[in-house]
Amino acid sequence: MKKALFILPALFASTVSADISQIFIAQDGTQFPVTSIAGSPTYQEDIIAAETIFAEYQSTYEYTDFTVRTIDSISGNYFDIFTSENGSSLTCFSSSGQPLGTDIASCYAVTPAILSSSLLQAAAKDKENFTALNAATTVNLQLNRSTTQISQSLQSMRSLRSHPKPSKGNGAGDDAYEMMGNFGLYANSGGTFGKVDSTTNSSGYDVYTRNFNSAVDYKINDTIITGMLFGYTSSTVDVDNNGGNFNADTFRFSPFVSLSPTENTYVDIAAGYASHDNRSQRNCLLCSSSADASFRTDEFNILTGLGYTHHFDAWSLRGYGQASTIYMDIGGYTETGDTATGLLTMPNQYVLSITSTFGTELSYAWSLPFGVLVPRISAEWVREYANDQRLITAQLQNGGITSIQTAAAQQDWGNAAAGLQMVLPNGVSAMLNFQSLIMSGATNYTIEGGVRMEF
């Protein structure tokens, strides 16, 4: 059995002396028994196998409510932890089914052997869910990296600003696509959806974001363009099996400078700040309720990038590289709930992420009667040099401490993308992009569209 770190010393002082077995009960009453706990050297494998089958059954039938029942085969008494979308509750029963208590103290007084086992397992599951929610505070360092959003916005503005070299076709004259003025307004919006797989120490979870970015830029001369990027991201994380959820509203701004030393080269420099308003709600089995928390994260980032584009007829091949650094100061917080049992007080966390990115993009400018259509595909490789494992010591509100081990960030991952750009007369351009994350243990997909106007 996995070692639980949410252990209350007095509560778990007794040892399991009875013959105890366990059953998972699905929403429709279907039972998934686990073999005896007492003296079974293979119990850990048994419970993992039962949990896997039970989770597949839940997923197949889309059940959200379930009960974990632990039975003392000698006395016949049993103990239930019922979990639903609205939280969890615990009840202990006599062998005849008569309720003996609905809180930890009263249940422990009458069924210590059962509770010693069940609450250890509940504590282990609480820890896995909490570890997942804690990981959610930094998941976007890899899945939806803020400097990646900045880089993509700068590249979109550059593409929408550039004068394409279209293929010979039915398009209008080139003069229709010349720049209209030194000022530009840009906006894009989109969303992402992804999944992070479970690990030995953490539950898996789904990730969703909604993004909106805008920018104003000014062409100082043929070599220098400067401006300001603004962004808003709404993030939602749902932990598997109703383990909890995490939500964040993020507001960011980033001044930038884009240099063009030659016609086919560019250098981007951007620095920014972001404020994250975080809210988490954990389905706490030991609390028999939800454990809620609100806290803030301050983020500072810097990005430098350069690239070169080679044109051959209507084709363009771009190679690029960039380096980015993100520093996050995650505020400490104290969870709230119906009881102090199982609630945590977390200290401040400090996270540093440093990455390099190398990529290539191929595009083709296709002249049409109403404008120039530019389809493009790209692929890039990202490497992480920091963001190592962290050991966090948290305080149990009813006494004691527990340790939370974060997972190390993936060292390497990739992004593959495809998009369309439409260049229209009179300084109007639009784009649509799709991107897929290539990473072990996670998936993520991004869809976004944008428009730029010059004046």
Residue whose tokens read 């079974």: 40
Strand pairing partners for 267? 259, 306
Q: If you write DSSP's letter for every residue of 357-405 in order, what string do you get?
A: EEEEEEEE-EEETTEEEEEEEEEEEEEE-S----EEEEEETTS-EEEEE
Nearest Cα neighbor of 235 from 245, 249, 224, 218 is 249
Structure tokens at 128: 């896995």
Nearest residue to 123 (alpha-carbon basis) of 11, 37, 5, 21: 5
Pairing relation of β-strands 391-396 and 224-239? Answer: unpaired
Query: How many CB atoms are closer than 10 A to CB 408?
Result: 11
Tell me how many degrees the CA angle 229-233-237 measures, rounded to the nearest 5: 155
What gap in Å lies between CA 58 and CA 30, rounded to an integer? Answer: 10
Contacts of 19 (CB under 8 A, 6+ apart): 36, 37, 38, 72, 73, 74
Q: 355 near 384, Cβ under 8 Å?
A: yes
Q: How many CB atoms lie within 10 A of CB 45?
A: 11
* Contact by Cβ (8 Å): 439, 142: yes
What are the structural domains, with CATH classification, of the chain?
Answer: 4-102 (no CATH), 122-454 (2.40.128.130)
Q: How far apart are CA 358 and CA 320, in angstroms?
A: 6
Show pLDDT as tens, one digit a residue, over the chain (455 residues): 233 333 333 333 333 445 778 888 998 899 988 876 655 545 566 777 888 888 889 888 888 888 988 888 777 888 888 888 777 788 888 888 888 888 766 776 777 777 666 766 777 888 899 999 999 999 999 999 999 889 989 988 888 877 566 665 554 444 444 555 789 999 999 999 999 999 888 999 999 999 999 999 999 998 999 999 999 999 999 999 889 999 999 999 999 999 999 989 999 999 999 999 999 999 887 777 789 999 999 999 999 999 999 998 899 999 999 999 999 999 999 999 887 778 899 999 999 999 999 999 999 999 888 889 999 999 999 999 999 999 898 888 876 778 888 888 899 999 999 999 998 888 889 999 999 999 999 999 999 999 999 88
Of 266, 255, 247, 195, nearest in space to 231 by CA: 255
Q: What are phi and psi of 217, to 5 degrees?
A: -130, 155
Residues 354, 384: contact at Cβ < 8 Å?
yes
For residue 240, what pLDDT is reported? 93
pLDDT for the residue 75:
76
Name the strands in the sheet holding 20-25, side by side, starting at the edge strand that comes first in the sequence.
31-34, 20-25, 66-72, 78-84, 87-93, 99-101
Query: What is the number of alpha carbons within 13 Å of residue 435 lying toward its C-beta?
Result: 22
DSSP code per residue over 230-294 = EEEEEEEEEEGGGTEEEEEEEEEEEEEEEE-SSTTEEEEEEEEEEEEEEEEEEEETTTTEEEEEE
Report the alpha-carbon distance of residue 204 to residue 103 in Å, rounded.
Answer: 29
DSSP-derived 3-state class of residue 211: strand
pLDDT of residue 412: 96
What is the distance between the alpha carbons of residues 37 and 221, in angstroms, rounded to a whole number? 75
Instruction: Name the CA radius of gyration of the chain, rounded.
Output: 27
Asked if 351 and 387 touch (Cβ cutoff 8 Å), the reply is yes
Residue 70 pairs with which residues in a beta bridge?
22, 79
The number of residues making up the chain comes to: 455
Confirm if 416 and 436 have CB atoms less than 8 A apart.
yes
Can you give the pTM of this predicted structure?
0.78
SS3 202: coil
330 neighbors 349 (Cβ within 8 angstroms): yes
Cα–Cα dist 69/80, whole Å? 5
Residue 167 is given by DSSP the state P
CA angle 356, 147, 273 (to 5 degrees): 130
